Structure formats: C-alpha cells, structure tokens
Amino acid sequence: MISIHSFTFNPIQENMYLLFDESKECIIIDPGCYDDNERAILSKYIADNQLKPVKLLNTHCHLDHIFGNGYVAKKYNLQLEVNKNEQRILDAYKMTCDLYGMNADPSPKPSVFLEEGDIISFGNSKLEILFTPGHSPGSLTYYSRADKFLIAGDVLFYGSIGRSDLPGGNHETLISSITNKLLPLGDDYKVYSGHGQVTTIGFERKHNPFLT
Ligand SMILES: [Zn+2]
C-alpha cells in the first residue's frame, strides 16, 4: 500500500509529494522546496522516516514544481524523469524565474522521458502514467490502480482546473485531458493536486464548474 505525504512549499504554495510503501523506497514528485529551510524540512522527513528516495519525477516543469529539482537530484543521486514535451518549459525556467523575480536553483536536464503507458516501479508498488496536456504541453498524471489515487499536477484542482494561458497551454486540450483521461479512472479515485486540498474524481465530476 502506498503512503502519500505532501508538503506545501515556496511562495506559490505548491504541493509536492512523497510516495512510499512498506519497503521504504520513496518517489519524489514535483519538489517545490525553495529555500534552505524548506529543503531541510524535506530532508528531515525523509531521514526521520528512513525513506530511500529512488526516483525524481515532475508532473510538469513550471517553476513552482521544480525549484527543488537540483537539490533533490544531488542530495539523493537521482535522475530527472519528465515527458519530452516539457523540455522547452524546463529550458525557459531561468527566464521565467527572472520574470517572477525568483531564484532559479538550477534543475538537472531530464535523463529519462516518460510517456503514457509507462510503469513507474518502486518498492512493492507501481504507478501508471497518463498524458494529460493542456495546462502545460507535457503534463503527466501518475496514478495507482491498487490504491486508487492520482497525482494530478496542475491539471485538476478542488473545484477548479489549471490555467491554460501559459506557453504551451490550451483550454480545449485541458478539458479533453480531464474528461477523457482522468474522469474515466472512476469516482472513488482521490486526486492529489499541485495546489490546494485533496479531492476525488466523483466530487469533481459532480461539482467542478469547469466540467458541468
Ligand atoms: Zn503549472
């Protein structure tokens, strides 16, 4: 069974996730830890729980999701795994940080390109991948069939959806990703988003104003 721990980090209040099981192997998704204090909080949790990070994944490469990529990759000797369509977003990271007046701690380049249908294995567990563009051109959703949850990045939020006005975004594509890829997973799936509280597919199907 996969346990999920989230931290809300950086001035943009992004949710990063640690996924781990009884083996203690751990996957780090979207490390938004921005400063030394937040990086220490993350590392302390990993150490206190004797977790062993084995993978570094991004749902997409907007700045608030990758501030800690460099720290995590170096500290735990991990390679970065993303969808290939995020390369250009990653390439624009420094420029985007300058635009927002934020520090761009350098991210490693991706070493592995993930696609829909790929399987992420760790410990005794696995995650599957859906390609869910629209907020960002290479947004990926990671989900567990066994434990019925998904890590949605900025595709779907509690009562809302990701913005589609950033480079590579497209509203129709985003709605299509949600309705054709996420909703079919089933109402009982929990949704862990890049911002805000946890929700479920069932709640969003009924109440999300962008989907009704
Ligand atoms: Zn984003």
User: What is the per-residue burial (b if ≥16 Cβ within 10 Å, else e) of 87-119?
Assistant: bebbebbeebbeeeebebbebbebeeebeeebe
Q: From the centroid of its chain, how far is CA 49?
A: 21
Q: Rounded CA gap, 40 and 82, in Å?
A: 25
- Centroid of ligand 1 to alpha carbon of 136 (angstroms): 7
Q: What is the pLDDT of residue 157?
A: 98
Q: What is the pLDDT of residue 212?
A: 85
pLDDT along the chain (212 residues), means of 10: 98 98 98 98 98 98 98 98 98 96 96 97 98 98 98 98 96 98 98 98 98 90
Q: How many CA atoms lie within 13 A of 111 on its CB side?
A: 11
- Centroid of ligand 1 to alpha carbon of 160 (angstroms): 13
- Centroid of ligand 1 to alpha carbon of 122 (angstroms): 25
CB-based contact 167:89 (threshold 8 Å): yes
- Centroid of ligand 1 to alpha carbon of 163 (angstroms): 8
- Centroid of ligand 1 to alpha carbon of 206 (angstroms): 24
Domains of the chain: residue spans and CATH: 3-207 (3.60.15.10)
Q: What is the pLDDT of residue 62?
A: 98
**What's the pTM?**
0.97
Q: What is the pLDDT of residue 100?
A: 93
- Centroid of ligand 1 to alpha carbon of 88 (angstroms): 14
